Amino acid sequence: MKKCWVIYNGSLTSDKFRDQAELVKDAAIRAGVAATVKRNYEVQMALSEKLEERPDFVVFLDKDILLATFLKNAGIPVFNDPEVIETCDNKAKQYIQLAKNNIAMPKTIIAPKVYPKFTIEGSGYYEKVIEKLGFPMIIKEGHGSFGMKVYLIETEEDFYVKVDELRGVDYVFQQFIATSRGRDIRVNIVGGEVVAAMHRFSETDFRANITNGGEASVIELTLEQKELAIRAAEAVGAEFAGVDLLFGENEAPLVCEVNAAAHIRNIYNVTGINVADRMISYILRKLG
């Protein structure tokens, strides 16, 4: 019998991370795998020692990239691959990768590195960004989920307050897709195939995230939406992905982001599709 660990971050207090791990664990058990849920800190990264216990594979639902790399280096297959987790964990890095692969997305400018104690205000840099993207504009931090680090900037004054606040942080400036205000699509992909999708909409916020007050319903994807989502997951190398799509002009899809450890509870509740079953069968097929 194969053994698997499902790893989540034990320092997070919200129940949804544990719940996500339990969904994957239950799917593994249904498929005849001896699965256990582990908090990241329950695996000690002692570098010159051999791991006492070794699973046959790990489903990695966290962003503890060092732990994912540690396990991979111990010869254990880790899903998603640690490099993919790292790319997706930083939206700036991810957008560079998406652009390299010609993925349709909003106009995006990666903010230059500014050391926390210094500023480039007065250099003319920010004026050029404003000229190119205009207002309203999106500013998005590299690390952030549930819409919490995505800002709609309406005025020049707010813009300068935000860039000052973000000294020392990776972030991007992005065109605000007004035709997508308060609505987007979440597409869950496993091994290059669309498994489930939902339409998310919010009447109170420009962000459609459910955690942020958005509601969701089932959606039948167009071929264009499907293909773009699959190509976006492929561009960052993600075997499992939750791709967010925006509605551009004439409803043409644009990639908003790719999540490497997308939550699957909401999409299960909305569509009745348990993405975890597909994740496990994909892994078992791959490992042979």
Ligand X SMILES: Nc1ncnc2c1ncn2[C@@H]1O[C@H](COP(=O)(O)OP(=O)(O)O)[C@@H](O)[C@H]1O
Give me the residues that bind ligand X (CB under 6 A), please: 106, 138, 140, 144-148, 150, 174-177, 180, 184, 206-209, 244, 246, 256-257
What residue 258 binds from Mg ion, ligand X, none (CB within 5 to 8 A, per partner kind)?
Answer: none
Tokens standing for residue 17: 């991370």
Handedness of CA 236, 238, 244, 245 (dihedral sign): positive
- Asked if residue 80 has a cis previous peptide bond (ω within 30° of 0), the answer is yes
- Asked if residue 136 has a cis previous peptide bond (ω within 30° of 0), the answer is yes
What residue 266 binds from ligand X, Mg ion, none (CB within 5 to 8 A, per partner kind)?
Answer: none
Which residue, judged by CB position, is nearest to Mg ion in the bound state?
244
Complex with Mg ion: residue 35 or 85, whichever CB lies closer: 85
What residue 106 binds from Mg ion, ligand X, none (CB within 5 to 8 A, per partner kind)?
Answer: ligand X
Smallest distance, Å, CB 144 to ligand X?
Answer: 5
Do the beta carbons of residue 34 and residue 4 sit within 8 Å? yes
Tokens standing for residue 110: 């990666």
What residue 20 binds from Mg ion, ligand X, none (CB within 5 to 8 A, per partner kind)?
Answer: none
What residue 138 binds from ligand X, Mg ion, none (CB within 5 to 8 A, per partner kind)?
Answer: ligand X
Whole-number Å distance between alpha carbons of 122 and 251 = 39
Smallest distance, Å, CB 260 to ligand X?
Answer: 11
Smallest distance, Å, CB 259 to Mg ion?
Answer: 6
If one counts every other C-beta atom within 10 angstroms of the C-beta of residue 31, the result is 17
φ, ψ (nearest 5 deg) of residue 64: -75, 80
Residue 152 burial by Cβ neighbours in a 10 Å radius (0-12, 13-18, 19+): middle
Smallest distance, Å, CB 244 to ligand X?
Answer: 4
Complex with ligand X: residue 106 or 253, whichever CB lies closer: 106
Buried b (16+ CB within 10 A) or exposed e, 172-211: bbbbbbeebbebbbbbbbbbeebbbbbbbebeeebbbbbe
Complex with ligand X: residue 57 or 176, whichever CB lies closer: 176
Smallest distance, Å, CB 209 to ligand X?
Answer: 5
What residue 177 binds from Mg ion, ligand X, none (CB within 5 to 8 A, per partner kind)?
Answer: ligand X
Complex with Mg ion: residue 81 or 244, whichever CB lies closer: 244
Smallest distance, Å, CB 89 to Mg ion?
Answer: 13
Residues of this chain that bind Mg ion (CB under 5 A): 244, 257
Complex with ligand X: residue 69 or 145, whichever CB lies closer: 145
Cα 201 → chain centroid: 18
